[in-house]
Chain A
Amino acid sequence: EAQVTQNPRYLITVTGKKLTVTCSQNMNHEYMSWYRQDPGLGLRQIYYSMNVEVTDKGDVPEGYKVSRKEKRNFPLILESPSPNQTSLYFCASRTTFGRNYGYTFGSGTRLTVV
């Protein structure tokens, strides 16, 4: 089954404790992206990657890092989480060729930073 898999689904952590949210897709998509969803703000892009070793900032990159060492994986790293990063996070992917194609989203990771 074609899918984007995120882990964990739920995470509670303390301020300053480094964490990684994993994202993996099995569709051989070139493009991958991370979004955060907050009430009243919709989804905002954090980082995206056009292909292996190519990453770029989205609209709200502060406090986050990403890497793209393999085509299928695109982890999101919070080096020193803060309470304002409490949010619902989604990873998404699509083929690069053709902006007419929709994105495939993961099931989400609900992060709480206390």
Chain B
Amino acid sequence: GNSVTQMEGPVTLSEEAFLTINCTYTATGYPSLFWYVQYPGEGLQLLLKATKADDKGSNKGFEATYRKETTSFHLEKGSVQVSDSAVYFCALNTDKLIFGTGTRLQVFP
């Protein structure tokens, strides 16, 4: 069946460090891929998406590229801020949305 695997957290970084959160997927067909972010005490917000192979989604300095050959959709940011501290979920959508287990990011000044 379809599934999403994310790296375990927490990921702890200093402000301005480079961020990578790994995400790989297993799916039949051609899923759309998403990153959602959950700030403390809030619901999930769509961060970025990619709908086909080689698409790059970007938003708020975050980027992720849909890599069909490696079935990956890794999230990256060149310089993180304290305000980026949150839980990040990778997800795929075919006929329904399937989430990874989430990765907590903690950024310290």
Contact = CB atoms under 8 A, between A and B. Distances in A.
A95 to B, nearest CB: 12
A4 B100 CA distance: 22
Interface stretch (A40-48, A66-74, A77-85): A40-48
Given A40-B101, A41-B101, A45-B96, A102 B34 contact: yes
Contacts, number: 48
| 7 closest cross-chain pairs (CB), A and B | A102-B46, A42-B101, A105-B43, A100-B51, A105-B44, A43-B99, A42-B99
Contacts of B42: 107-108
Nearest to B6: A42
Interface of A: 4, 33, 35, 40-45, 48, 58, 90, 92, 99-100, 102-108
A100 B49 contact: yes
Given A42-B89, A102-B34, A102-B49, A90 B44 contact: yes
A33 B99 CA distance: 14
Interface residues on B, range: 20 to 34
Contact of A99 (B32, B36, B101): B32
Contacts of A90: 43-44
B101 to A, nearest CB: 4
Chain B residues touching A, majority SS: strand
A107 B43 contact: yes
Contacts of B96: 33, 45, 48, 58
Nearest to A90: B43
Contacts of B51: 100
Contacts of A104: 46
Contacts of A42: 89, 99-102
A43 B42 CA distance: 14
B102 A105 contact: no
Contacts of A4: 43
Interface in B54-109: 89, 93-97, 99-102
A102 B100 CA distance: 15
Contact of B93 (A35, A58, A99): A99
Contacts of B99: 35, 42-44
